Amino acid sequence: MLTILADAGNIDILINNAGIMYLGITEAFSVEQAKFQMETNYFGAIRVMQAILPSMRKASSGLIINTSSLVGRMSPPFFGTYTATKHALEGYSQALRYEVSPFGVDIVLVEPGPFGTGLLASGQAPAHYKVLETYGELAGVPSAMGENFAQMLQSENAPDPQWVVDAYLKLAEQPFGSRPTRTVVGITWGTDEINNLTQPIQDRILKEMQLESVLGGVSV
């Protein structure tokens, strides 16, 4: 990343899109497996942002788009370790958005639903197979879910991954201060409703903590 900065001089837009997802009985995934996902989905994004932000703040301009997920705002069963990484990314991005906004830098989140990408194939089987044995028939549900998802995402009515790219482009074209904090793409499963309900409460914290004038009244 530092080499890219040295060659380009500045980076106007950064998109963090790397991701690994495990589907299975949450208890059966090892701590090592949870850490592996966190390294890519959360710590990896932080490393890239910290490499880029100094130049963006110096230029008083820049856009960082962090690719989260619907499950960064809710927690369905069998996605526990993946959901944890996206909740972490959401929390970090929300706080950082407030802090870098006075420098003219926007940080936003794109929250895709299921799309026909290679994300499902990136997973691993739970390491604690003996735990699976104690779950009985429930242990087979995640695999069945994965097969159903795969079939749905290969059908003619499947959401088009291009929609996510279009969301990136739309955010890139919007001027600073007008971009929404979160953009849901594809199947929503109520995430857009969650965002609409909770974002005003989140932003009210600035007033209650008497930070609104310090941070310039960040637009949501």
Cα angle 23, 112, 200; round to 5: 115
Do 199 and 91 contact (CB within 8 A), yes or no?
no
pLDDT tens figures, 104-118: 999 999 999 887 777
All residues at 6 or more sequence positions from 30 whose CB lies less than 8 Å from its CB, including other chains: 126, 127, 128
pLDDT tens figures, 59-81: 999 999 999 999 999 999 999 99
Q: Which residues are catalytic?
A: 82
pLDDT tens figures, 180-192: 999 999 888 889 9
Three-state secondary structure readout of the chain: CHHHHHHHCCCCEEEECCCCCCCCCHHHCCHHHHHHHHHHHHHHHHHHHHHHHHHHHHHCCEEEEEECCHHHCCCCCCCHHHHHHHHHHHHHHHHHHHHHHHHCEEEEEEEECCCCCCCHHHCCCCCCHHHHHCCHHHHHHHHHHHHHHHHHHCCCCCCCCHHHHHHHHHHHHCCCCCCCCEEEECCCCCHHHHHHHHHHHHHHHHHHCCCHHHHCCCCC
The CATH T-level fold of domain 2-215 is Rossmann fold (3.40.50)
pTM of the model as a whole: 0.88
How many other C-beta atoms lie within 10 A of the C-beta of residue 141? Answer: 14
* Residue 163, both tokens: 């929609």
Write down the pLDDT at residue 10.
81
| Higher per-residue confidence, 14 vs 160 | 14
Name the residue ranges covered by the structural domains of the chain: 2-215
Write down the pLDDT at residue 91.
95
Average pLDDT value over all residues in the chain: 88
Rounded Cα distance between 119 and 104, Å, is 33
